[in-house]
Amino acid sequence: MNQPFSQKATSLKIDLERILSLKEKALEEALAPLRFEEALELVLSAPWEKRAELILASPYPEGLVRNLPPVELFFTLKGSSLDLAVELLSYAKGSQIQFLFDFDVWFKDRIRPERVASWIILLFEAGEGRVLEWLAIADWDFVIAMLQKFVKIHKRPDDVELIEAYDFLPPYTLDDVYFVEFKEERLEFYFRRIIELIREEWPETYFALMESLIWELPVEVEERAFRFRNGRLADEGIPDYYTSLEIYTYIHPKRLSKIDPRTLALTGEERAPHTLHLIPYEGPQELFIVKVLSLIQDPFQRERIHQELAWLATKVILVDHPVIDGLEEVKRGLFKMWCHLNLGLEYLTEGNVILARDFLENYYLEEIFRVSGTALRELRKFALSLFQSKDFNPALLKYLDQPYAGYLQGVTVQKLNQVKLFNPVSIGTSEEFTEFSRVSELRMVRGYLEEIAYMAPLLEKGLGPHNNWIKEIFNANRNFDLNSLTWSSIILTSLANYLYNQEFIFRALPKSKWQEVFAKIVEVKDGKTFMKKAIKEGLYESFVKLARTSYYLEEELLKNYLDFVVELWDREFGFADPADPPDPKYQTLILIDLSA
């Protein structure tokens, strides 16, 4: 799909897909004639997963690695196999290596030791030269904070002889003054070598380091390291986690900030580096925003939008995936950015393409993104209110049918950025929950939630408290247990009892009456079995009467839910023979007393 703002622009007259399909020898031959600038442009235009092969097959592997923006190197390493990542890392310069630590080993404002260990091991695999180059420019506070996670320094008291100190101090020392205790034996080699390298290359720094490791408070050092780390990331155009949280703050749709025209790029101004290599939206349906973006032709507007997209994508990834194990988290973050931008734009413009173009040209993308959060916040608020309802016992919500249960689960989450759209056709897969991207999806889920809010008190008032249903389920010789109890099974079991003994009540139907009752419910049309029209109408009339006498009548909500129940029945028994129905033991729409 040709989408605007989804790939790095390239002026090279090269078929990228053909280049990426070449084998090792052919790839080297194809890249050999390229000048360095052309090779770098080609690498930056390629997907992260393919870059390592291009770099290592080119005539300038070291130059290409050292000239990659640090964030692009990070994602290139994440998209490469371990052996290729080590080879790429062997060409990296110290500032790039420090960026890897700054970007990947922090969780919010704390260092994660396991992430530090992973990068340290990779650095040593790439060669001690990389470790030295990093240590030469490394942030002092970060080095102290990092080492405090893995070592503890003991200083020999002045009044204690060396031979005596060996009895109670750790065995490893470089100077008979500072003794090093390694907290993790499997990592001893790496941190021992770091200390040795510092002593060999920077003796004066070594003694200051040892004293700092003894006396500096870990919390204070880590806090200083975090502040300096944020400054370095800001220089690369990357916000910190807490700044990024702004994308989920409330904004009123009518209070968006208009862009000052003076902020647009000036003619001839050097293009600022993008924070991320943006990848296209890969959802099942084309997004409204893609169509609108294709209408924007002004080069300065396109440049502004491209930079805003990269900035926004970075924030989404940092908040939703503060720990990045691979490219999958990055792709999910970019996918979410496209979806929520589309939702916010649709919400503001109601699908008007011309108005939407005006919004993209005159308002900040981050605020349009935040409008989607405002819409989702309202949906989530309504969903959570069901659990505090005084009209019914919230325990009833545990017995919802799908897709009602899934839609409710997707929006009743602890944090706003975790709100998801339930995908009924993908239950049990990684795609079971996806991102909201359209206003129609918001309205659909709201409709399901309103049906839940209406039917829950109606069921409880008309068919008794849910404790009675549970008692009936727990009786012996039932065809299903509490895990299979649903609102539809409560309604259909009550309907079966009404046809059996004129009582609309949730009670197990005797197995001996199953065939008789089943035949009363269904009829065959065009080779398929359906619930009889008269039965459906009787079901509707019964609930209408119940609503009028014990609650209130909301015809559309009531009809929608009962239509769902009937459709569920028709799907379950669409090929059943009325004269020879399936064994009741293996269906869960009607509770059966198997002993009667």
Of 149-158, 164-173, 450-459, the range with the lowest mean pLDDT is 164-173
pLDDT for 462 equals 87
Q: What mean pLDDT is predicted for residues 197-220? A: 95
User: What is the tens place of the pLDDT at every residue in 45-66?
Assistant: 898 999 999 999 999 999 999 9
* Per-position DSSP letters for 540-589, written without gaps between them: HHHHHHHHHHHS---HHHHHHHHHHHHHHHHHHSTT-BTTBPPPGGG--S
Q: Does the structure show a pLDDT above 50 at 267? A: no
- Count CB-CB contacts under 10 A for residue 326: 10
* Cα atoms found within 13 Å of the Cα of residue 108, Cβ hemisphere only: 2
Mean pLDDT on 154-180 = 89
The confidence score (pLDDT) of residue 274 equals 45
pLDDT digits (tens, 9 = 90+) for 516-546: 999 999 999 988 999 999 999 999 999 999 8
Residue 271 has pLDDT above 80, yes or no: no
The pTM (predicted TM-score) of the whole model is 0.86
CA distance 68 to 8: 14
Q: What percent of the chain has pLDDT over 70?
A: 94
Question: Is residue 245 very low, low, confident or very high in pLDDT (cuts 50, 70, 90)?
Answer: very high
C-alpha count within 13 angstroms, C-beta hemisphere, residue 499:
24
Give the model's pLDDT for residue 165.
81
pLDDT of the residue at 158:
83
Q: So what's the pLDDT on residue 12? A: 62
Give the pLDDT score at 416: 93
pLDDT in tens, 178-189: 999 999 999 999
- Residue 134: pLDDT band (50, 70, 90) is very high
Q: What is the pLDDT of residue 159?
A: 86
Partner residues linked to 522 by β-bridges:
531
pLDDT score of 143 more than 90: yes
Residues facing residue 258 across a β-bridge: 363
The whole-number pLDDT of residue 16 equals: 82
pLDDT above 50: residue 31: yes
Which range has the top average pLDDT, 35-44, 116-125, 582-591? 116-125
Strand partners, 510: 593
pLDDT of residue 278: 63
**Would you state the pLDDT for residue 144?**
97
Tokens of 178: 């500072």
Strand 592-593 to 509-510 pairing: parallel
- Omega of the bond leading into 157 within 30 degrees of 0 (cis): no
**What pLDDT score does 6 carry?**
52
Query: What was the pLDDT predicted at 272?
Result: 47
Span 306-332, average pLDDT: 90
Q: Is the pLDDT of residue 576 over 50?
A: yes
Q: What is the pLDDT of residue 270?
A: 47
Quick one: average pLDDT of 435-454? 96
- Angle at which helices 188-201 and 140-150 pack, to 10 degrees? 140
Q: How many CA atoms lie within 13 A of 16 on its CB side?
A: 17
Beta strands in 84-242 (DSSP E): 106-107, 110-111, 151-155, 172-173, 178-182
Q: Which pLDDT band holds residue 326 (cuts at 50, 70, 90)?
A: confident
pLDDT at 1: 39
Mean pLDDT (the chain) is: 91
Please state the domain extents for the chain. Answer: 16-236, 237-266+276-463, 464-593
pLDDT score recorded for residue 268: 41
Q: Report phi then psi at 529, rounded to 5.
A: -100, 130
